[in-house]
């Protein structure tokens, strides 16, 4: 059994695409955790989507052995995502470690998610080891980035490590710094067992497997365990460590990171962030975990040409490995039965969509992503509350004017500007609805791709908002309705009416499109009736006969308009959702 003083638990945190997963690969290679001929890129990214996109979606732990200064050490690394949508994965990891390697790309410098994850690490009192990566690239700006990090952390520049994760240059030095700077985990091995669940996965054969950091005591196979949040009592089926794959051991002891096969058959019984202990919840205080993830973005999922139960089964299975996804049944006149799903952001939505289509062969229709509003009916009027976020944007100073102009049109409230090096950090408070669709692309466009953003939920605020309802041929179509700021009611209503006019095919009768708030019409467009030449077969003759036919056609169209309910093609809904 390894001495507790020779254990180091750490994470790697970075902005997306700064080389975090590649650095993890080199650490695995240097420590000989995997045979050299079996090493492949992104060793800790186990999903096909992670490899294809070059991003980390799920946190992944690995245990490495490293000999340094005459001693053998255990290094427990938790590889974390870099994208803002998966920052909840980072927060879970930070609660289980004592240190963090902060990776910054030498060609891009500090980015928004770098700052966000760094602040979370500091809040958790972690030791920070700063690293500049990609120093081998010809466009590396090592001195400038070194200065940025020095100003940010208020440290000497000689404390910053410079490496190339691609070539392996400097990686051994990082491992040595981890041993010398990051403290060993605390906790008494003689005390009753207590651990924090920082992740869990569902195995169809073995049930729920909990990923844990042991804070006190020891756990062996067959030991009784208590779950604080659910009040469930179980028995340990297996314990072990992470060697890229599960490797069973005799026990887990204080200071170690490992897994427990709990025997639970439902993921709801083993909640991430919960405390698991040998004693009953009344006899021991729970470990402080992390913030439970909140869904920020919502969209409805419907299936095309397959049973809705197939979609439900697929969502149920995804939730087993993604506790941040939630869904509830919904019925749409246009698309039938489906589910209203909650996500952490647009990338999270996109990943779930791709997994459903790939892994479960589903053909999906997805509504326009939106935020959730709180509606208060005051009788004489309806009031809305909407979610707001703290928004941080990092941009080179030369693009500051264009970025600020973009944000001013987003109902954002300016808070502060800070500078480090030639970069500016803008701080705003902003409605979430203004930045979840298109804002990221707009930000990249006005900054030539250099600006980055991060946001964090701060609560709900009353907004001067209105609900636009859409009437097509007198019938209300809920799928086209939307909530918008009152200052943009006229422009949004006119734009929506015009889009529908151009998309809905002509009928044999005139079709009205009305955009209304309450009973008041804000915008209107008419789709003219499809004309049929009813007098084409008449050659000459009495004019009264022609007039009779035209009059009969007009009466028929009027009757059709009164009798028929317009059937809007699915393609129209899809085009509106895209726009």
How many Cβ atoms are within 10 Å of 278's Cβ, its own excluded?
Answer: 20
407-417 exposure pattern, b = at least 16 Cβ within 10 A, e = fewer:
beeebbeeeee
Q: Domain ranges for the chain, please list them.
A: 4-181, 194-283, 297-366, 374-461, 466-578
Q: Which CATH class is domain 4-181?
A: alpha beta
Instruction: Give the three-class secondary structure for 166.
Output: coil
Burial degree of 81 (CB within 10 A; 0-12, 13-18, 19+): buried
Q: Are 213 and 234 in contact (CB under 8 A)?
A: no
Which residue numbers belong to the known binding site?
Answer: 17-22, 133-136
Q: Which CATH class is domain 297-366?
A: alpha beta
Q: Are 516 and 474 in contact (CB under 8 A)?
A: no
What topology does CATH give the domain 374-461? Alpha-Beta Plaits (3.30.70)
Burial degree of 96 (CB within 10 A; 0-12, 13-18, 19+): buried
Which residue numbers belong to the known binding site for GTP?
Answer: 17-22, 133-136
Using the 8-state DSSP alphabet, how is residue 159 labeled?
G
Instruction: Give the three-class secondary structure for 515.
Output: strand
Among all chains, which residue has been given the structure tokens 């006190």?
216
What is the DSSP annotation of 297-366?
Answer: EEEEEEESSS-HHHHHHHHHHHHHH-TT-EEEEEEETTTEEEEEEEESSHHHHHHHHHHHHHHH---EEE
CATH superfamily of 194-283: Translation factors (2.40.30.10)
Burial degree of 540 (CB within 10 A; 0-12, 13-18, 19+): exposed
Q: Rounded to 5 degrees, what are φ and ψ at 168?
A: 95, -5
Tell me if domain 297-366 and domain 466-578 are identical in fold. Answer: yes
Instruction: Give the three-class secondary structure for 552.
Output: helix
CATH 3.30.70.2570 fits domain 466-578: yes
Taking the whole predicted model, whether its pTM rises above 0.75 is answered as no
Per-residue pLDDT of the chain (579 residues; tens, 9 = 90+): 678 999 999 998 888 777 888 898 889 889 988 765 555 544 444 445 444 444 444 567 889 999 998 899 999 998 765 445 455 556 667 888 999 999 999 998 888 777 877 888 888 899 999 999 999 999 999 999 999 899 889 999 999 999 998 899 999 999 999 999 999 999 899 999 999 888 888 787 888 888 899 999 999 999 999 888 888 888 999 999 988 788 899 999 999 999 999 888 877 778 777 889 887 777 778 777 555 667 778 888 888 766 789 999 889 878 766 777 889 998 877 778 899 998 877 777 888 888 888 888 888 888 878 888 999 987 778 899 999 999 999 898 999 999 999 998 899 999 999 987 788 899 999 999 998 877 888 988 898 888 888 888 888 999 999 999 988 888 888 878 889 999 999 998 998 899 888 888 887 778 888 999 988 999 999 888 876 554 555 555 566 766 665 566 555 544 434 334 566 776 676 676 555
């Amino acid at each position: 059994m390894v001495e507790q003083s020779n254990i180091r638990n750490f994470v790697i945190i970075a902005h997306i695409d700064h080389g975090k997963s590649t650095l993890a690969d080199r650490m695995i290679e240097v420590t000989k955790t995997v045979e050299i001929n079996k090493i492949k890129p992104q060793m800790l990214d186990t999903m096909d989507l992670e490899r294809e996109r070059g991003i980390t979606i799920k946190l992944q732990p690995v245990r490495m052995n490293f000999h340094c200064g005459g001693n053998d050490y255990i290094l427990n690394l938790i590889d974390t995502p870099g994208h803002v949508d998966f920052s909840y994965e980072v927060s879970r990891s930070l609660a289980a470690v004592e240190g963090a390697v902060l990776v910054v790309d030498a060609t891009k410098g500090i980015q928004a998610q770098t700052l966000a994850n760094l602040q979370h690490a500091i809040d958790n009192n972690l030791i920070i080891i700063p690293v500049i990566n990609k120093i081998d690239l010809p466009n590396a700006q090592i001195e400038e980035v070194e200065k940025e990090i020095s100003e940010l952390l208020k440290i000497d520049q000689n404390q910053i490590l410079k490496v190339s994760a691609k070539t392996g240059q400097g990686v051994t030095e990082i491992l040595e710094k981890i041993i010398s700077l990051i403290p060993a985990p605390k906790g008494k091995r003689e005390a009753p067992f207590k651990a924090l669940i920082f992740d869990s996965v569902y195995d169809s054969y073995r049930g729920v497997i909990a990923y844990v950091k042991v804070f006190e005591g020891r756990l062996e196979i067959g030991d009784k365990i208590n779950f604080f949040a659910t009040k469930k009592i179980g028995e340990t089926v297996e314990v072990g460590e992470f060697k890229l794959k599960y490797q069973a051991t005799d026990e887990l002891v204080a200071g170690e990171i490992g897994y427990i096969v709990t025997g639970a058959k439902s993921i709801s019984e083993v909640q991430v962030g919960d405390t698991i202990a040998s004693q009953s919840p009344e006899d021991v205080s729970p470990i402080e975990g992390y913030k439970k993830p909140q869904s920020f973005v919502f969209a409805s999922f419907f299936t095309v040409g397959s049973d809705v139960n197939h979609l439900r089964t697929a969502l149920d299975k995804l939730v087993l490995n993604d506790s941040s996804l939630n869904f509830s049944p919904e019925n749409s006149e246009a698309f039938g039965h489906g589910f209203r799903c909650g996500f952490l952001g647009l990338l999270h939505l996109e990943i779930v969509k791709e997994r459903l289509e790939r892994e479960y062969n589903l053909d999906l229709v997805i509504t326009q992503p939106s935020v959730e509003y709180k509606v208060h009916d005051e009788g004489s009027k309806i009031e809305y509350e909407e979610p707001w976020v703290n928004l941080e944007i990092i941009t080179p100073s030369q693009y500051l004017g264009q970025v600020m102009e973009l944000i001013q049109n987003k109902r954002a409230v300016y808070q502060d500007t800070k500078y480090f090096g030639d970069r500016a950090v803008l701080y705003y408070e902003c409605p979430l609805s203004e930045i979840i669709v298109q804002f990221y692309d707009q930000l990249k466009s006005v900054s030539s791709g250099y600006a980055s953003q991060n946001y964090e939920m701060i609560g709900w605020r009353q907004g001067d908002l209105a609900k636009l309802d859409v009437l097509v041929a007198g019938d209300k179509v809920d799928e086209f309705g939307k909530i918008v700021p009152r200052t943009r009611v006229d422009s949004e209503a006119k734009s929506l009416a015009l889009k529908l006019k151009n998309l809905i095919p002509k009928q044999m009768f005139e079709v009205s499109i009305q955009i209304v708030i309450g009973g008041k019409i804000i915008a209107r467009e008419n789709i003219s009736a499809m004309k049929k030449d009813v007098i084409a077969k008449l050659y000459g003759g009495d004019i009264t006969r022609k007039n009779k036919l035209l009059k009969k056609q007009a009466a028929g169209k009027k009757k059709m308009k009164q009798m028929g309910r317009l059937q809007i093609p699915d393609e129209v809904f899809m085009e509106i959702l895209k726009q």
